[in-house]
Amino acid sequence: MANGTGNKSVVLSDIRKSYGNLEVIHGIDLTIEEGDFVVFVGPSGCGKSTLLRMIAGLEEVTEGEIAIKGRDVTDLDPSERGIAMVFQSYALYPHMSVGENLGFGLKMARTDPADIERRVAQVSAILKIDPLLDRRPGQLSGGQRQRVAIGRAIVRKPDVFLFDEPLSNLDAELRVSMRIEIARLHRELGNTMIYVTHDQTEAMTLADQIVVLRDGRIEQTGSPREVYEDPANMFVAGFIGSPR
Ligand code: ADP
Ligand code: MG
């Protein structure tokens, strides 16, 4: 809500997910305001990635509805949802240069080549990867690769960014500097960001709103301060309070 405009960005209504007979997401209701940085946090296996992938359209919902900017997107393809996702593994195209990686999504969308060049130049300047445009992903460090992956998401100007543990493959020092960079990006771009992590420090430092998950249910939603100072139960207190 710190940055929220009051408009609804992503609304989840009674979302459920089953794999075979096993339900792993048990009826989640959540409203995310436009411009907010929302962090899904919780232990491994609690359903963070599944939830994010359903918002992205990479995973079908078993029950419930997802709306983005007031539009029911439950049955739409990922490309029709106005979202872009950054994963833990960089998933760059190894045979393309950095510049080609950045422009690829726009090229697929038949964007005018001059526009592609302009957007790629803008985005690479923002992320300070402009000196790397002619390199291949194999010639980059982990942090540089993750920057390119983030750039590839930004370049399409999505309404909503989805991040699934984007920093967990990086060493501790780089994680801190990338975290600061992501916070800066959010201030500059002002988009809605939904960020999944199992790391409480990342959650506490990045979030406007924290969503604490356990076993496919929301335990608590609130600002970092609310969740820290007034945890809903012992689980939240233990999870947010204890360093790991
Ligand atoms: P998290 O990202 O919080 O670690 P996940 O969303 O990956 O958790 O997983 C939530 C639950 O769903 C886990 O119990 C996991 O084993 C299960 N799960 C995830 N993907 C599949 C799948 N493709 N088939 C069966 N079970 C799955
Ligand atoms: Mg996960």
Per-residue pLDDT tens digits for 170-225: 888 888 888 998 999 899 889 999 999 999 999 999 999 999 999 999 999 999 99
pLDDT band at 134 (very low <50, low <70, confident <90, very high): very high
Asked whether residue 79 carries a pLDDT value surpassing 90, the answer given is no
pLDDT at 1: 45
Q: How far apart are CA 117 and CA 101, in angstroms?
A: 12
- Rounded Cα–Cα distance for residues 96 and 45 (Å): 34
> Could you tell me the distance, in angstroms and rounded to a whole number, from the CA of residue 104 to the centre of ligand 1?
30
Q: Which atom of ligand 1 is nearest to the CA of 44?
A: 4
Q: Please say if the pLDDT value at position 230 is more than 80.
A: yes
Pocket of ligand 1 (CB under 6 A): 19, 24, 42, 44-50
Instruction: Specify the pLDDT at position 18.
Output: 98
CA distances from 186 to 59, 83, 86, 222 (A): 26, 15, 14, 19
Q: Are 54 and 27 in contact (CB under 8 A)?
A: no
Separation of 66 CA from ligand 1 center, angstroms?
19
Mean pLDDT of the chain: 92
Enter the pTM of the model. Answer: 0.91
Q: Whose CA is nearest to atom 19 of ligand 1?
A: 50
Rounded to an integer, the average pLDDT of 51-58 is: 96
* Tally of CB atoms within 10 A around 123: 22
Phi, psi of 22 (to 5 degrees): -100, 115
